[in-house]
Amino acid sequence: MITGSEPFNNPGSDFLWWRDGIIYQIYPRSFADTNSDGVGDLNGITEKLDHIATLGVDAIWISPINPSPMYDFGYDVSDYESIDPVFGNLMDFDRLIAEAHRRRIRVVMDLVLNHTSHLHPWFIASRSNRDDPKRDWYIWNDVGPSGRLPNNWQSTFGGRAWEFDPRTGQVYYHQFLKEQPDLNWRNPQVRERIYQVLRFWLNRGVDGFRLDVVMSYFKDSQFRNNPVKLFGLYAFDRQIHKYDLDQPEVISVLQDFREVLDEYPERMAVGEVIDLDMALRYVGRDKLHLAFNFDFLRQPWNAASFHRSILRYIRRLPSDAQPCFVLGNHDVNRFPSRFGAGIHSDNRTKVAATLLLTLPGTPFIYYGEEIGMQNTPIPRADIQDPPGWRFWPFYKGRDPARTPMQWTADKNSGFTTGIPWLRLNKDFQIRNVSTQNANPESILNYYKKMISLRRITPSLRQGSYQPVTGKPSQVLAYLRQYSSENCLVILNFKNRNINFLIPQPPADTVWDLRLSSRRAEPVRSSGGEFTLHPLEACIFSAIQR
């Protein structure tokens, strides 16, 4: 196990895992089940570490594993310093850390610090009476005449964000479910206790944290009404969140987090934020190491949209900040389904993977993306996700992107010998790790090649980004340059041949094709017209003539 004083990288290496590496997200309920209860567990993750190692990623981020009544599947924590029995125990966690580190894989833990479960001992004490020492650990307020609530704030999951508690005659604030009361981050005792939680896990060898909804930590101290918007499908969307999100005090807490993390070598924090402006403000030398850029999650499948999204982000990123791109996570539809499932889905998936893994910054891969897993339709009667229950049929929840990992063509795809907590995708017999490992042209083997190329090519990790196509409509192309190394990435977003004009390489060099998603034959070019296959990704390096 790594302690706070042991280096992890080889001495003299300039490879910094959270900056140069790739992080793989695991939704633990759905990854691998070893005790036949139908739910994935920590021992299942440990058993599958060799898959993660051979994929070539540098770290895993594990979605919440703390004890929880599971109203929101772990995002309602009842004990910050233990493991939920459905996943295992602290001994299992220590073993996972040790086995991951033995394979040189870092471990990032999900921490949900904006709110707790209503069954957390802190909240049980807080709601017991108005004079309890932990009363101010949560956000309580009086109701006005005729039960008028303090303001118009809405819950992200639907309904008003205030819940009346008859025991003490006040309301408490919950941005999400009423079973998820928000902590009062203005209370210094709360902040100090949370910093103790960070150190508890850092001392156990955790390498970093994914911080849930960091923009929500503070709320307006005067509880002013949010301005109202005319449009939006849900009540939460019909407000400008001026007073319940992104308050100025968030920055100071992120700086405190950074001080704690900097007490340990090579630790990091990545923040979940819903808005690009927030992501840009929350990262930097004295704040978060990374903040997710979710802009790709909203883009249609065309070169122009991705081109604009990339430039909008990179041009505004602070000079001391690291970019961070994702194509999917546990809260959104899987990207092969968003971009168009069907007969050409695998080719499209390879293009998207190439984009993710050749852009500046730290990429995150969501479990199953490496085999092209798609959304699984979940009947209403089987929905597990709370927003899916509430908003059906307008929103069918997040379950379709959380179904069990597809390992083999056997029963339940090798995920469990019990009854899976969510049904598997019907395509598991043809789309699984075992089958794709045996197929040199599979998505999985393409990911391995792409990740290997990225690891040995500094320009793809740390190089500058220069668009080749000013206003792309069919092809997205860009140069990555680091020191004297040059790479050219060309992505055909269209399902037809495209003639593309390759720029001239640097003096005394030619472009050498390092990897293509659609061809095996060698290609060298001094610039000029080049015919791209339908939905083809190509990566060229400049080599001496």
Known catalytic residues are: 212, 263
Distance between CA atoms of residues 83 and 101, nearest Å: 19
Distance between CA atoms of residues 344 and 353, nearest Å: 14
Q: Tokens 């472009």 map to which residue?
A: 511
3-state helix, strand, coil in the chain (%, to 5): 30, 20, 50
Q: End-to-end alpha-carbon separation of the chain, Å?
A: 48
Q: What are phi and psi of 60, to 5 degrees?
A: -120, 140
Distance between CA atoms of residues 285 and 508, nearest Å: 39
Q: Would you say 299 and 240 are in contact if contact means Cβ atoms under 8 Å apart?
A: no
Amino acid at 186: R
DSSP 502-533: EPPPSTTEEEEEEEESS--S--EESSEEEEEP
Exposed e or buried b for every residue in 214-231, given b needs 16+ CB within 10 A?
bbbbbbeeebeebeeeee
- Print the SS3 string covering 463-482: CEEEECCCCCCCEEEEEEEE
Distance between CA atoms of residues 254 and 276, nearest Å: 17
Q: What are phi and psi of 219, to 5 degrees?
A: -125, 155
Whether the upstream peptide bond of residue 363 has omega within 30° of 0, thus cis, is: no
Distance between CA atoms of residues 79 and 69, nearest Å: 10
